Amino acid sequence: MTDALAARERRAGVGEVLLDVRDLRTHFHVMDGTVKAVDGVSFSLRRGGRLALVGESGCGKSVTALSIMRLIETPPGEFAGGEIIFDGRDLLKLGGRDLREIRGGEIAMIFQEPMTSLNPVMTVGDQIAEAVLLHQGVKRKAADEVALQSLVDVGVPDPKRRLKQYPFELSGGMRQRIMIAMALSCNPKLIIADEPTTALDVTIQRQILELIKTIQERTGTALLLITHDLGVVAETVDDVAVMYAGRVVETGTVDDVLLNPRMPYTRGLLESIPSQAKKGQRLSAIKGVVPNPFRMPPGCKFEPRCPYAWEAGATEEPPLIELGPDRTARCWLYDRRYQDHLAQYDAHITNDSGGTTS
Amino acid sequence: MDSAGTTTLEELEQSPDYDVQLESLNQWQIAWRRFKRHRMALIGSVLFLGMVAVGVFGPFFLPYDHTVIGAPDAKFNAGRPPSPAHLFGDTGRLHRDVLTLVVNGVRLSLLIGILASAMGAIIGTIVGGIAGYFGGWADTILMRIVDALLALPLLFVILVFSQFLGEGHASWWTMTLIFGAFGWLGIARLVRAVMLSLREEDYVDAARAAGVSDLRIIFRHLVPNSLSPIIVATTLGVAGVIIGEAFVSFLGFGVDPAQPTLGNILSGSLEFISQKNWWWAFFPGAAIVVIVLGINFMGDGLRDALDPRAKI
């Protein structure tokens, strides 16, 4: 419990809103029509805060991250609406030099694939120094010092030799450390980590997560973690936004969302994690598949797969309903009009499991 | 793992490094290894570099000066066959030393070939890089220009240009400019094709995310990654320009005979072939064959050595 308390104190200590994504809509015009990969995503992140965007493949979490970095190619992509306010400026309205100054300088990104995210014909030192030279207006020699220091910060053994090596000489875990060192080197206000551990094996995953966390705590930069792995979420962040079919469907603190999920989709996700407590039982899964992006259900996007759905969800999409401070869920269950459904639902879950998630 | 925040440089330098203990080779070292095992490539390199040495140092060892031209010999018009004084014989009419001409011709032909193909490589890389990386309108416009230029009968264009710029006899650098200005088309197509695949690489997104500008991504990140095919094409291009220049000069539209190139020496010999002055045509012709053969073998070897899919 002390952990939770510490987390709460930390949250109270963090500053004003740094990143405010409001009703972001990123669409892709492809041969067969328009894919609304992100369709009305809103969330905010405070200075020094740690937020995870969680969801299945194709829910739009990576597109959200790439939209913030403005790495979506337009066309085929299109920013069909919304705002991304970062430090007082709308990133969707920036271009050219302003954008390049923010990229890498104020927002840094760590990619999923460390094996392919480094240029094979540039030395590690050159690649780190490049970002430093671009953003800090220093001489080459000073940039090299910064590069060395950032390798030290991420705990790379024999850092002086590493600077002169090419990526192919390094293992996956080492390359991800290099990527983190690059992200760090310009002291960004926000680090976006897009599935930073997915391509790594389990022991290295743990090290990399620890590293990201340590660095985040030491430097006080904000962290936006994109992942499908709820285990990673529990260990790394303070707040969670769950995404489904291009929307945010539930937000709250890690404890609230993971221990007391309010949206049936989140509950389904958590129940589908294998655990020691459920040993011998059949693993539960969410029925059905993610909706076809060309034929989205008209109402709640989760309605076709939702075991608790009734007519309301089939016809009209629920808004994000506020459940408390920093706690929302996109589900008709929490609309005052449907209190009887909520009562049924609550009864159902208590009967069903007796707290499978704890 | 211990908290990374507390480690220092000294600790890290002493900590065991399990990651890589082997001394690994970079791509150029690997390519050099492969090249060394390619026999034809080695022979080609020896031929080519030998001719380069002849061109660079040869003129300093010759007893004759190619710029000093005596008066025509009224009594004896035909050339004289190889002799101790003139190892490759001498030419008809002006009695110039063929060895002197060939050595200076090798020098100038190689200079034209290397400079024009380097110029072509630079223009081609810029055009192809921009077209391939940006795609869309830039690509359409630039590549249609390339298509249009490729549709021209290039040899005739070059003949016309050399007439136009040189009034019959161009200087060697006008020829270089002409061949360079028309020699980038193939490289542009090649580089564009490579760029189209490279721009999808993750490290391009990573570089953009780090705030690197598009032009810097093209020239600092992507061009070095596409250097292998560029090097091969440029090397083979040198042979193409040397043959092209010889052809144009042979037709009498090339470099002024006062500046010997392998082509214009041949051109001069034409008139005396009927008098069996074989040495005048044979030696410059052989020089062209040796240079072109050397370059082609070398280019072949480079292609194999620089191919990342080839086994070591």
DSSP track, A328-353: EE--GGGSGGGHHHHHHHHHHHHHHT
Which of A158, A198, A235 best tests the B interface by mutation, with the highest count of B CBs <10 A? A158
Residue of B198, B205, B220 best to disrupt the A interface, most CBs of A under 10 A: B205
Flag whether pLDDT at B228 surpasses 70: yes
pLDDT at A302 exceeding the cut of 60: yes
Average pLDDT of the segment spanning B226-241: 89
Tokens describing residue A77: 């992509």
Kindly determine whether residue A103 and residue B211, on different chains, have CB atoms separated by under 8 Å: yes
CB-nearest partner of B17 from A102, A152, A157: A157
Helix (H, G, I), strand (E, B) or coil at A197: coil
Q: Which positions ≥6 away from A129 have C-beta within 8 Å? A: A140, A143, A144, A146, A147
Q: Quick one: which H or E segment has residue B41?
A: helix B39-57
Q: How far is CA B115 from the centre of its chain?
A: 7
Nearest Cα residue to A123 out of A193, A61, A182, A172: A182
Find the CB nearest B12 among A118, A156, A211: A156
Say whether A214 and B205 touch across the interface (CB within 8 A).
no
The whole-number pLDDT of residue B1 equals 43
Taking residue A244's Cβ as centre, other Cβ atoms within 10 Å add up to 26
Cβ of B181: how many Cβ atoms within 10 Å?
Answer: 16
Buried b / exposed e along A224-241 (16+ C-beta atoms within 10 A): bbbbbbbebbeebbbbbb
Assess contact for A107 and A189: CB atoms under 8 A: yes
- Point out which residues pair with A250 in neighbouring strands: A242, A329
Cα–Cα distance for residue pair A221/A38, rounded to 1 Å: 26
**In terms of CA atoms, which chain A residue is nearest residue B198?**
A119
Q: Are A8 and A259 in contact (CB under 8 A)?
A: no
For residue B4, what pLDDT band results from cuts at 50, 70 and 90? very low
Cβ of residue B24 closer than 8 Å to a chain A Cβ: yes
pLDDT at B309 over 70: no
Q: What is the mean pLDDT of chain A?
A: 83
Q: What residue in A sits closest to B13 (Cα-Cα)?
A: A158
Closest residue in A to B24 (Cα) is A169
**pLDDT of res. A358:** 39
Q: Report the relative pairing of strands A247-253 and A77-86 from DSSP bridges.
A: unpaired
Q: Domain boundaries in chain A?
A: 260-352
Distance to chain B for A100, nearest Cα, Å = 4
CATH number of B100-307: 1.10.3720.10
Distance (Å) from the alpha carbon of A128 to chain B's nearest alpha carbon: 10
Highest-pLDDT range among A10-24, A46-60, A296-310: A46-60
Q: How does pLDDT run across A148-171, given as a tens digit for each residue?
A: 988 888 888 888 888 888 888 888
DSSP assigned state of A301: T
* Closest chain A residue to B8, measured at CA: A152
> What is the mean predicted confidence (pLDDT) over B186-200?
92
Instruction: Name which of A109, A121, A168 is nearest B209 (Cβ-Cβ).
Output: A109
The beta-carbon neighbor of A121 closest among B8, B213, B224 is B224
pLDDT at B2: 45
- What pLDDT shows up at residue B3? 46
Of B4, B8, B210, the CB nearest to A211: B4
Q: How far is A211 from chain B (nearest CA, A)?
A: 6
Pick the residue with more confidence: A262 or A310? A262
Residue boundaries of the structural domains of chain B = 100-307
Q: What is the pLDDT of residues A306-357, one digit of tens each?
A: 888 777 777 888 888 888 888 888 888 888 887 787 888 887 777 665 444 4
List the structure tokens of B201: 């690489």
Binary contact (A168, B24; C-beta < 8 A): yes
Contact B20 A169 (CB under 8 A): yes
pLDDT of B6 higher than 60? no
When pLDDT is averaged across residues B27-37 and rounded to a whole number, the result is 80
Choice between A7 and B108, residue whose per-residue pLDDT is larger: B108
Give A100's contacts in chain B (Cβ within 8 Å).
211-213
Over range A241-256, report the average pLDDT: 89
Q: Return the minimum-mean-pLDDT range out of A178-192, A256-270, B63-77.
A: B63-77
- Mean pLDDT lowest among A2-16, A326-340, B158-172: A2-16
As a whole number, the mean pLDDT across chain B is 82
Cβ contacts of B1 on chain A, cutoff 8 Å = 155, 206-207, 210-211
User: What pLDDT, on the 0 to 100 scale, is given for residue A357?
Assistant: 43
CB of B241 closer than 8 Å to CB of B261: no
Q: What tens digit of pLDDT does each residue of B104-154 get?
A: 889 899 999 999 999 999 999 999 999 999 988 999 999 999 999 888 887
- A–B interface: beta-carbon pairs under 8 A: 117
Coil, strand or helix at B119: helix
Rounded to a whole number, what is the largest CA-CA distance in chain B? 98
Distance, in angstroms, between A114 CA and closest chain B CA?
Answer: 9
The shortest C-alpha distance from A312 to chain B (Å) reads 42
Nearest to B285 by CA among B305, B257, B265, B255: B265
Instruction: Please name the member of A116, A131, A206 whose beta carbon is closest to the beta carbon of B203.
Output: A116
Q: Largest alpha-carbon pair distance within chain A?
A: 69
Question: Can you tell me the distance from the alpha carbon of A337 to that of A332, in angstroms, rounded to the nearest whole number?
Answer: 9
* Residues in chain A closer than 8 A to B16 (CB atoms): 157
CA of A330 vs chain B CAs: smallest distance (Å): 32
Closest approach of B158 to chain A, Cα-based (Å)? 38
**Distance between the two ends of chain B, CA-based, in angstroms?**
38
Instruction: Spell out the residues 6+ positions from residue A4 whose beta carbon is closer than 8 angstroms to its own.
Output: A255
Q: For B203, which of A119, A152, A218 is closest by C-beta distance?
A: A119
Please identify among residues 205-234 of chain B the ones whose CB lies closer than 8 Å to any CB of chain A: 205-213, 220-221, 224-225, 227
Average pLDDT over residues A34-61: 87
pTM of the model as a whole: 0.80
Q: Looking at residue A355, what is its pLDDT?
A: 46
Name B85's Cβ contacts closer than 8 Å, sequence gap at least 6.
none
Provide the pLDDT for residue B190. Answer: 93
* List of chain B residues whose C-beta atoms are within 8 Å of the C-beta of residue A211: 1, 4
Q: What is the structure's pLDDT at A14? A: 58
Task: Provide the CA A217 distance to its chain's centre, in angstroms.
Answer: 17
Note whether A134 contacts B210, CB cutoff 8 Å.
yes
